[in-house]
């Protein structure tokens, strides 16, 4: 049985079943994106390669996100949104299925790149569709509901996938994600109302988004400001063991606390976005900066480190939701490309934050220095937001 033939009208609660279907897809994506980090030793053993070489699978997945988000969104601009989301979830299932059966390092790396291609396009288009299911003043809440799947993946999916991968093999984790994405395709087909592409959609219409300065300001804010969180998160394991002095068994708990913070941030952050998009961008960046300062000063105390990691997950997720809606507002006639590009920006932030944090560690400044690198990046993000507001007011 399929959904109705016409797009459903916006209601205050939207369509809970459709929202849940889209969140399920996000859960699968979040699991496959982050579980690889915990499975690198097993992957390396299987193919007889070093762990750093196996880590290329993470980099290639991120590259797939950066490339695929704008490319797929532009090329598929005229396709009905529901059918496109189903196709994207099936592509995600195929990429992860190929990862699960890859017989060689080269094919694994290729499959991870392919698995990353639909990532950003799925989240970007899902956010636009979810926002269309609710009144304009509830867009922030709708987008946050979609992102809950990604945050729950960090709370539950990644730890479970890591343990399962360690016990029965890393291939099982990717196979499980493939099954989740097939289930998402079925749920979207069943519950999501028919959502046609915008009437004037096309390659030229979508590309117009990149002619708007506010789109670039929002993307740069994500690339730079969000990099502050990744500067710390990328090295959370050695911070836990080498700085806080906790045993290695505490690392999964720290990651779970981070995921809990993200989940709560996604739940409550949408309400702040509903009230003021730019106010939430400003406020969340200030909060992220304050949390990173707190972490830099108290990381040697285990209890304080746990609290800081929780707050970092919460505040960074509120920022992610706010930037998603800001991009949709900045390009109202091409929201899909702008929204999808947010995930390209965040993956660039992932790489940049990890790289800059690594430089600080290589300079013998210690693992705590990653927090101060994060502070610098967050402050730079705040400067970009202030500049964007000044430009917008001057233009108006």
- Which CATH architecture describes the domain 1-197? Up-down Bundle (1.20)
Query: Where are the domains positioned within the chain?
Result: 1-197, 203-396
Q: Would you state the pLDDT for residue 14? A: 55
Contact at 8 Å (CB) between 149 and 59?
Answer: no
Q: Report how far apart, in Å, the C-alpha atoms of 311 and of each of 202, 292, 322 are.
A: 41, 9, 17
- State how far the Cα of 378 lies from the Cα of 39, in Å rounded to an integer: 30
Per-residue model confidence as pLDDT tens digits over 272-293 = 888 898 999 999 999 999 999 9
The reported pTM is 0.79
pLDDT at 197: 66
Q: pLDDT digits over 18-57, tens only?
A: 999 999 999 999 899 878 877 878 888 899 988 778 878 8
Query: Spelled out in words, what is the top-level CATH class assigned to the domain 203-396?
Result: mainly alpha
How many other β-carbons are positioned within 10 Å of the β-carbon of residue 248? 9
Contact 155, 26 (CB under 8 A): no
Let me know: does 229 contact 316? Beta carbons within 8 Å: yes
Reading the chain (396 residues) residue by residue, the pLDDT tens digits are 333 333 445 555 558 899 999 999 999 998 998 788 778 788 888 999 887 788 788 888 988 998 998 899 888 888 888 999 999 999 999 999 999 999 999 999 999 999 999 998 998 899 889 888 888 878 788 888 888 888 888 788 877 887 787 788 899 999 999 999 999 999 999 999 887 766 666 666 667 777 888 989 999 999 999 889 988 887 887 888 889 998 877 877 888 898 899 989 988 888 888 889 899 999 999 999 999 999 999 999 999 989 999 999 999 999 988 998 898 888 877 777 777 888 888 888 887 888 888 888 888 898 899 999 999 999 999 999 999 999 988 886
Say what the pLDDT of residue 212 is: 84
State the Cα–Cα distance between residues 74 and 324, nearest whole angstrom: 18
Please tell me what DSSP assigns to residue 5. Answer: S
User: Is the sign of the CA dihedral 184, 185, 191, 194 positive or negative?
Assistant: positive
Residue 6 pLDDT: 38
Tokens of 217: 């300001």
Q: How far apart are the first and last CA of the chain?
A: 49
């Amino acid at each position: 049985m399929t959904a109705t033939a016409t797009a459903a009208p916006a209601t205050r609660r939207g369509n809970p079943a459709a929202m849940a279907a889209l969140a399920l897809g996000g859960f699968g994506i979040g699991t496959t994106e982050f579980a690889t980090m915990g499975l690198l030793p097993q992957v390396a053993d299987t193919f007889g390669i070093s762990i750093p070489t196996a880590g290329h699978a993470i980099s290639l997945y991120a590259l797939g996100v950066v490339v695929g988000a704008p490319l797929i969104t532009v090329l598929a601009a005229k396709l009905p949104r529901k059918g496109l989301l189903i196709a994207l979830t099936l592509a995600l299932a195929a990429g992860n299925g190929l990862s699960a059966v890859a017989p060689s390092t080269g094919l694994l790396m290729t499959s991870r790149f392919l698995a990353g291609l639909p990532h950003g396009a799925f989240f970007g288009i899902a956010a636009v569709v979810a926002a269309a299911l609710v009144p304009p003043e509830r867009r922030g809440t709708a987008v946050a509901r979609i992102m809950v799947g990604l945050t729950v993946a960090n709370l539950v999916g990644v730890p479970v996938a890591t343990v399962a991968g360690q016990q029965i093999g890393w291939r099982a984790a990717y196979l499980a994600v493939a099954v989740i994405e097939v289930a998402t395709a079925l749920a979207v087909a069943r519950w999501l109302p028919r959502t046609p592409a915008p009437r004037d959609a096309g390659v030229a219409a979508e590309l117009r988004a990149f002619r708007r300065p506010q789109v670039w300001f929002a993307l740069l804010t994500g690339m730079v400001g969000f990099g502050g969180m990744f500067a710390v998160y990328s090295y959370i394991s050695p911070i836990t063991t080498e700085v806080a002095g906790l045993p290695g068994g505490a690392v999964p708990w720290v990651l779970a606390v981070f995921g809990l913070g993200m989940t709560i941030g996604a739940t409550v952050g949408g309400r702040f976005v509903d009230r003021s998009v730019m106010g939430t961008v400003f406020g969340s960046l200030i909060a992220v900066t304050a949390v990173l300062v707190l972490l830099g000063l108290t990381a040697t105390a285990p209890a304080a480190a746990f609290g800081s990691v929780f707050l970092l997950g919460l505040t960074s997720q509120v920022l992610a939701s706010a930037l998603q809606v800001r991009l949709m507002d900045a390009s109202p006639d091409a929201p899909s490309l702008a929204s999808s590009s947010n995930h390209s920006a965040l993956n660039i932030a992932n790489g940049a934050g990890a790289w800059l944090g690594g430089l600080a560690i290589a300079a013998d400044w210690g693992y705590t220095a990653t927090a101060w690198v994060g502070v610098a990046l967050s402050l730079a993000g705040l400067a970009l937001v202030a500049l964007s507001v000044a430009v917008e007011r001057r233009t108006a």
